[in-house]
Structure 1
């Protein structure tokens, strides 16, 4: 098998048919398979997937959620999918997006040349104009996403990512401790292991953003909360005044809500608000409480060491 496309799904009945339709109409001369990873869906997602077996003959469904174990995040689903895949390379897409008509041949051709690739996210097709405007030019629409802290490397969104199996075997599994930033972490890890991340402009996924206020806030807060963990992992520490400064900035941002005049502006304000709340939560969790935990654990380790020496 040349390529395995991994498609995770949890309750994607409202959108997954569009993605399956797009995949069913891909044209590529090489053998490939679609691995749909079901993370315990309770809607009609899997019935919809089953209905595409005639159009997608190399379609397989694997389970990422096995009760009574807890349901884990999308990084776990991708790990399950890659480990079940038969392909020499893997490519990722998601149940609420739509791959472009030439996506499969483009990612397959790119992986003939490179080990690790990503492409562009297009925001117009699946989203209403007001929310597109709130996202500005859109992350990863023209290039990889850059970060301003260690390790100073670009990263790619996991919903349009491809790699040779050798990358996964060398770098290891996606880190399931990240609810959202697993793709940022993996981009960094792979590049630090020597695999260059190549941006392929014509490898396009039509990307669906959140439209409901609750979903915008929840997603941005989760992203914000992961950011301090990424920074901690790669040696970008927290300054002594960072937490109070972030708190003051959040309070200042709250006051700006009275300046919001339309839903586009409110979406931008809400995304920033959620991110800032998440960052403060992440700083508390991974730096402040983590520091106390480290001290407590090191104290226990010292006492255990003394007991061991006494014996």
Structure 2
């Protein structure tokens, strides 16, 4: 009798949509993993794409790769659920296609799941930005603040940082119902909240910080994304009304009140996602003439105002906001010299 194949200890689930320009670097990094136990990679191709299929066909031969094709793209949450359904590993590791894991990534995740206690692991991501006015004025400092904030998050707030690089046991993920496919943004932290309420202990591993290659590279993209991120909170509030807080107290001090007033006034000029993108384009032009410090303040003001406008004017129907991701992918592919549409 032939021995039964040993089930994988972990499945790395990679959702990808028009990600041909992203995948080669990720696949090479996954092929370099040093793991003593059996493991696998499930790449979910979210909608037909010949360029993505070609990139996967050139994946390193030693990579334990499974490819799942979805007949139509319905968003990252549905793609992640499809990846979980196909996974055979005890632990499911989410790793988005624009991340670059170190060789010990899978091993470090598995180490957190040795016992019976249900644990969810967050690996923070650090944006890798091309040099330019946006990166110098705002982007690089913003990503460092973001990473520091994730690393310092109290245990009760870690769910807010459940994002592109996480792990949890597959049975636990299935028990809470997986990702909510109605979300186009914030599908990750919404799942994190349900895991937290299910009794899963969520932790942040500072040794699992990964480079993130898909971050906004200009103010137009950042401001437009801030608007749709704010809009996603409308659906989040419907799903979890108990998370909606009362209006924040009136800012103390003249400077804080002036800033809040400026944010409110600027938010009033952005009733739509398109208006936020237009404002971002204006900011990009300003970045070419302003000194670095005031330029950073201008970007911060526009981003905060766009998020507030999205919360005020956004719709719980998030399908329309998927176009933002397509615009971002077009820009990435153009910079990378990859296929465009």
CA drift at 1:104 = 1.4
- Conserved 8 A contact 2:124-2:209: yes
Unaligned regions of 5+ residues in structure 1, if any?
A: 287-311
Which of 265, 269, 272 is the matching residue for 1:251? Answer: 265
- How far, CA to CA, are the matches of 1:33 and 1:99 in structure 2? 15
User: SS of 1:135's equivalent?
Assistant: helix
User: CA offsets per residue over residues 185-209 of structure 1, 9 Å max, x none?
Assistant: 1111011111111111111211231
CA drift at 1:91 = 0.1
- Conserved 8 A contact 2:10-2:89: yes
CA drift at 1:106 = 0.8
Which of 228, 231, 256 is the matching residue for 1:222? Answer: 228
- How far, CA to CA, are the matches of 1:250 and 1:268 in structure 2? 13
RMSD of the alignment, in Å?
Answer: 3.3
- Match of residue 118 from structure 1: 122
- Conserved 8 A contact 2:232-2:316: no
User: Is 1:186 aligned to residue 218 of structure 2?
Assistant: no
- Conserved 8 A contact 2:263-2:305: no
User: SS of 1:5's equivalent?
Assistant: strand
Unaligned regions of 5+ residues in structure 2, if any?
A: 1-7, 250-259, 270-278, 318-341
- Conserved 8 A contact 1:89-1:165: yes
- How far, CA to CA, are the matches of 2:15 and 2:230 in structure 1? 23
User: Is 1:15 aligned to residue 29 of structure 2?
Assistant: no
Q: Which moved more, 1:256-265 or 1:28-37?
A: 256-265
Which of 95, 98, 101 is the matching residue for 1:93? Answer: 95
- How far, CA to CA, are the matches of 1:120 and 1:205 in structure 2? 6
CA drift at 1:94 = 1.1
- How far, CA to CA, are the matches of 1:279 and 1:146 in structure 2? 24
Which of 44, 48, 52 is the matching residue for 1:37? Answer: 44
- Match of residue 144 from structure 2: 137
- Conserved 8 A contact 1:247-1:280: no
Counterparts in 2 of 1:1-311, with a 5 A limit?
A: 1-42=8-49, 44-56=51-63, 58-64=64-70, 66-67=71-72, 71-113=73-115, 115-123=119-127, 125=128, 127-128=130-131, 129-130=135-136, 132-135=139-142, 137-141=144-148, 143=150, 154-208=159-213, 209-232=215-238, 233-237=240-244, 249-252=263-266, 261=290, 264-282=296-314
- 1:163/1:127 CA distance change after superposition, 3 Å: farther
**Aligned positions, number:** 273
- How far, CA to CA, are the matches of 2:109 and 2:130 in structure 1? 24
- Match of residue 306 from structure 1: none
What is the TM-score with the length of structure 1 in the denominator? 0.76
CA drift at 1:7 = 0.5
- Conserved 8 A contact 2:126-2:211: yes
- Conserved 8 A contact 1:34-1:59: yes
- How far, CA to CA, are the matches of 2:95 and 2:148 in structure 1? 16
- Conserved 8 A contact 2:124-2:208: yes
User: SS of 2:175's equivalent?
Assistant: helix
- 1:29/1:239 CA distance change after superposition, 3 Å: closer
- Conserved 8 A contact 2:126-2:144: no
CA drift at 1:137 = 2.4
CA drift at 1:55 = 3.1
- Conserved 8 A contact 2:190-2:236: yes
User: CA offsets per residue over residues 162-187 of structure 1, 9 Å max, x none?
Assistant: 00012112211211111111111111
User: CA offsets per residue over residues 80-125 of structure 1, 9 Å max, x none?
Assistant: 00011111110011111211232111112122245211122223x5
CA drift at 1:20 = 1.1
- Conserved 8 A contact 1:37-1:61: yes
- 1:272/1:115 CA distance change after superposition, 3 Å: same
